[in-house]
Amino acid sequence: MTSSPSGSSLGPKERLLLGVVAAVLAFAVLWLRGGLHPAAPLERLARQSPDLQVALTNGKPTLVEFYADWCEACRSMAPAMETLESQRRGQLNLVLLNVDNPRWQPELDRYAVNGIPQLELFNAKGDNVGRSIGARTSAELQAIGQALLADAPIPALPGVGKVSQLDEDPLQSSPSASLSASQVGPRSHG
């Protein structure tokens, strides 16, 4: 038996077997990590959504969804969102922002996201005209999308309402409005 200077050499059968084992292992790893499955609707929507600033300034109404990959309600709503996006492509911006991505922390704070899915609704001028908290059916999403496109009032649905902006801090402007230390804010869940 001859051996090479680096130790033992493999014959053609051993090299073929090693190549087949390596290919099977690579396939198994990809399959287990979801690499061979088509992307889920949430992933597809998030990947193709425009940048938020572009969406708010391009003259089209915008629907922004704050979501998480682990959120069952977000995942169950995703096919209806995908349908809305495909039917209204070029007319309505659909932007998805993952709450687990630290990049979106300023937006989470700005829009007071404290539950998901949360939809922020903007008219064609980029003005925030409403908010929806909780899962929406396909019919509800279609109605919201239609209202945004028509610049009409947002449908009166449970968990949907107008957004108001405070010009000043009510705690600073009115001495009678002071809160006790035992009262907590809406995001504290305390």
Asked whether residue 149 is domain-assigned, the answer is yes
pTM: 0.66
Asked whether residue 116 is domain-assigned, the answer is yes
Asked whether residue 61 is domain-assigned, the answer is yes
Q: What is the mean pLDDT of residues 74-95?
A: 93
Asked whether residue 152 is domain-assigned, the answer is yes
Question: What's the pLDDT tens digit per position in 85-138?
Answer: 999 999 999 999 999 999 999 999 999 998 999 999 999 999 999 999 999 999
The CATH number linked to 120 is: 3.40.30.10
> Per-residue pLDDT for 183 more than 80?
no
State which residues form the domain around 99.
Answer: 41-161
Asked whether residue 170 is domain-assigned, the answer is no
> How many domains would you assign to the chain?
1
Residue bearing the bigger pLDDT, 173 or 70: 70
**Would you name the residues annotated as active-site residues?**
71, 74
Asked whether residue 111 is domain-assigned, the answer is yes
Question: What's the pLDDT tens digit per position in 3-56?
Answer: 545 556 888 988 888 888 888 887 766 655 545 445 678 888 888 899 999 999
In SS3 terms, the chain reads as: CCCECCECCCCHHHHHHHHHHHHHHHHHHHHHCCCCCCCCHHHHHHHHCCCHHHHHHCCCCEEEEEECCCCHHHHHHHHHHHHHHHHCCCCCEEEEEECCCHHHHHHHHHCCCCCCCEEEEECCCCCEEEEEECCCCHHHHHHHHHHHHHCCCCCCCCCEECCCCCCCCHHHHCHHHCCCCCCCCCCCCC
Asked whether residue 68 is domain-assigned, the answer is yes
